[in-house]
Structures are given as C-alpha cells and as structure tokens.
Amino acid sequence: METVAHGTGPHAARASLRLLIIFTFGFLFAWPGGCAQQPGRYAPPAGTPTVRVLLLENQQKVAVSATDMPTVHIGSQDAGQQLRFPAGTAVPVSLTPGGGWQIGTVQLGSGEMLLEQSADGSLRIDKHAYHGRYRFVPVGGGRFNVINDLDLESYLQGVLRSELFPNWHDEAYKAQAIVARTYALFEARTDGAARAFDVYSDQRSQVYGGIDAETPRSREATEATAGIVVAFGSPGREVIFKSYFSSCCGGVAQSASDAFGDDEIPPLAEQNRGNCCSESPKFNWGPLAIPKVELTRRLRAWGIWRKQAFKDIAPIAHFDIAQTSRFGRPTRFMVTDARGYRYSIRAEDLREAVNTDAGPNGIKVFSSFFKPVDHGADILFTEGHGYGHGVGMCQWCAEHQASQGWNDEAIVLGAFPGAKLVRAY
C-alpha cells in the first residue's frame, strides 16, 4: 500500500514545494459539510477536470480488445474511423519500422494515435478496462506510451481500492478520496503541464487499477466527496498543495522538507502520532541484515542512476544516524566507506538507495525510520518503524481514526494541520 503520493517515495520528490494558486483550476468554495449523492447513474460534477494517467510506458507492443467498435484518430486533424475488432480476440498494436501504427493487420498513419471507446469500458488494454479514452504516444525507437484520459472522479474510483484494504471503514475511504483528488490535481497543474501525462498509474504517483479495481465502497467514497480537496492559506486565498500520503508513519510523521527538500508549510510538518497506526504489521519491523558487499553494489547503482557521488563509493564500512527530527525520526544518515570517506544523505534518499536493484527476492527496508548497526560483514537495520515515507496522511492512522468514529474531514485535517477542506469544482 505504500505510495509516493505520495509518492512512493523520492522518485516524485521535488526540490521545492510548489503551491497551486486558485485561479489555475477554478474557484474554491468552502465545503458545506457533505455532498448528497445523486440518484441513478452517477455523473461527475460539472467542471470536473480531466486527468491523464500513464498506463504503460516504453512499449513495443500492447494487446487491445474491444466489444464495440472504437474510433481511431491519427494526429489532431484526423476525423477518425471506426475499427471492427474480432470478438473475444486481443489484437496487437505496434509501430511499423516506418513509424506508422499497425493494429492487427490494419496499417495507419504516424503521429499520436487516439482510441475513443464507443461505450465506456468496451476497450481493454492488456486485458484491463478503463473509463475515458486512450492515447498512444510515440517516444522514439519504435516504442510508445499508453495514456488514459478520463475525468478525475472516475479515476479516483479506480484508485481507492488499490490504495486501501477492502474492509476498511467508509470514512477512511472518503478521506483517501479527498487526499488523492488533491494530489492528482496538484500534479496535473505542475509536473503535468510540461509532459504528455499528469500521473503515473503506480506508486510513483498513486496506484490506479481502472474499472476492474472499482468497488461499491470506492465509488461511494468518491461520490460522497466529489470535488472536495484539501488546501492551505489565508481565508479566501487557500491553495492546494502536494498532499502526500503513505501506508504507515510508524508513530512519527516526517516533514516534506526533511523527506524531499520541499518548502516548509504547516500542513506538511513533522508530527508525533504515537500508537495511532500500531495495528499495521509494519508499525515495528526488523532487524533486517543486508551484507555490506550487497549494499555497496546497490548504493553504487543508485549513484549512477541519480548521478550522485555514491557511484564511486568504496566498500561500505558503516552507517550512522546524522540527524533526527525533534520527535526522534532520522532525517539524515552518514555513510562511511573503507577509505574513511563520508557521505551525508537524506534519509529518504538512503532508503531508495538501499532498495535500488534489490530484485524481487532481495531484502528491502520498509522505511527510513530505523537504527543501523554495524554487524561485521552485514549492516543490521534495527528498531524499524513504519512503511513508506511517512509524509502527510498515514493510511493506517486514517483507518484507526475511522474505527474510533472520526469522520473524513477530521481525519484529513488531523493529517494536515492548519489546512481546510474546500470545493474545487
């Protein structure tokens, strides 16, 4: 359940936290305290923005199947044509050596390709159904990305169940809907403005499973909070911010500034949450032993990937906690190699480095909230707490609070001190 939005982590971190001013997505209105669900089939509120989700990246071929004829457009000026797919059969989509598209045996022109569904959910990409439409975007070398454009509310219905356990309380689901909506809006208006998509479909943003991942609870939570976001600022001038969340804070939430180097604002400050998320199986973890030889290899790989000094590190001698928050959570570590060279590194960066190239069966640390111990040929990761980066809303805290009778507003505002809930559309 860990996610970067969260973000899983440091992949989505930015050097400074950018606040999103109100006029970039429309007026914000104070939340009246609840939203009545509309009878019959749910329709997103008027003004619901579109979110562009990167489903697949750097692909050479994907399988597409359809129960109704989709319309295909090549380039912005193409009027489009309908394609008939064989019933119950997946058809490969690829780029020809000349750069044109090929769907099954049908060859089409070059450029960005848009597939519009004739009925919602009638077109499947690698066996998965999604709302909205699909864009196939060439990225060079005969490869392409697949991007799902859909309304934000429908997107959230496919996010909530992917982020929370199915038996968790309704108020936890509604709190997650508010936070996930805010996160997606922020990403769309910041990083998304400079690229062909707004969010990833995995833990680099927040996990999105499409129509197949929807449940009655995820739909109801989305509908009950439609258009509601969390914002911060003086009355009448509130702005949304990057509303991080992660699985389990381990009792101490760290600030976005310590974790990612973002600007400091009160809603993303460090917090002592005590035993609120102690029901999580990762509230306490360890000790975990990783050989120094293996850690050296991983840190070098991370250094090459990140273009950091760790690419040249000698065999690791030991780790030490260099700095903690006022609540005792590590914020920086010092890594010393066999030459005596010392490397200061942000705690979240170290977690990412330690987990780099670990492989499916390699030992990984669950958070940066641990105490390292030199143990001969190994480093022991002891006194571990939490799962994920621990910034913003802790999902296990949210579930515990929901079980104690907290409503979604109280959960969200407890996670982001000084913020308020507002209506974005």
Q: HEC string of 349-392?
A: HHHHHHHCCCCCCCCCCCCCCCEEEEECCEEEEECECCECCCCC
**Does residue 325 fall inside a structural domain?**
yes
What is the pLDDT, as a whole number, of residue 258?
Answer: 98
Rounded CA-CA distance 79/298 in Å is 51
Q: Which two tokens stand for residue 325?
A: 């928050």
What is the pLDDT, as a whole number, of residue 43?
Answer: 86
Is the four-CA dihedral 58, 204, 73, 93 of positive or negative sign?
positive
Q: Are 129 and 86 in contact (CB under 8 A)?
A: no
* CA 245 to each of CA 175, 184, 365: distance values in angstroms, whole numbers, following the listed order: 11, 12, 18
Rounded CA-CA distance 11/5 in Å is 10
Q: Which two tokens stand for residue 195?
A: 């690229």
Question: How many domains does one find in the chain?
Answer: 1
Rounded CA-CA distance 350/163 in Å is 24
What is the pLDDT, as a whole number, of residue 259?
Answer: 98
**Does residue 362 fall inside a structural domain?**
yes
N-to-C CA span, the chain: 28
Q: Phi/psi zone of residue 67: left (φ > 0), alpha (ψ -120 to 50 degrees), beta?
A: alpha
Rounded CA-CA distance 135/196 in Å is 10
What is the pLDDT, as a whole number, of residue 79?
Answer: 81
**Does residue 335 fall inside a structural domain?**
yes
Q: Are 144 and 92 in contact (CB under 8 A)?
A: no
Residues of the chain with pLDDT under 50: 1-4, 7-40
**Does residue 294 fall inside a structural domain?**
yes
**Nearest one of 37, 52, 408, 398 to 230, comparing CA atoms:** 408
**Does residue 157 fall inside a structural domain?**
no
Express as a percent the part of the chain with pLDDT over 70: 90
For strand 393-394 and strand 378-382, is the pairing parallel, antiparallel, or unpaired?
Answer: unpaired
Burial class (CB in 10 A: 0-12, 13-18, 19+), 128: middle
Q: Which two tokens stand for residue 251?
A: 């009792």
**Does residue 311 fall inside a structural domain?**
yes
Backbone angles phi, psi at 408, to 5 degrees: -60, -40
pLDDT in tens, 197-216: 999 999 999 999 999 999 99
pLDDT in tens, 391-412: 999 999 999 999 999 999 999 9
What is the pLDDT, as a whole number, of residue 20?
Answer: 44
**Does residue 314 fall inside a structural domain?**
yes
**Nearest one of 115, 186, 110, 194 to 149, comparing CA atoms:** 115
pTM attached to this predicted model:
0.89
**Nearest one of 333, 175, 346 to 261, comparing CA atoms:** 346
What SS3 class is residue 28?
A: coil
What is the pLDDT, as a whole number, of residue 382?
Answer: 98
Write out the DSSP string of 195-236. SS-SEESSTTS-----GGG--HHHHHHHHHTTTEEEEESSTT
**Does residue 367 fall inside a structural domain?**
yes
Which domain range does residue 342 map to?
288-382
Cβ neighbours of 98 (radius 10 Å): 7
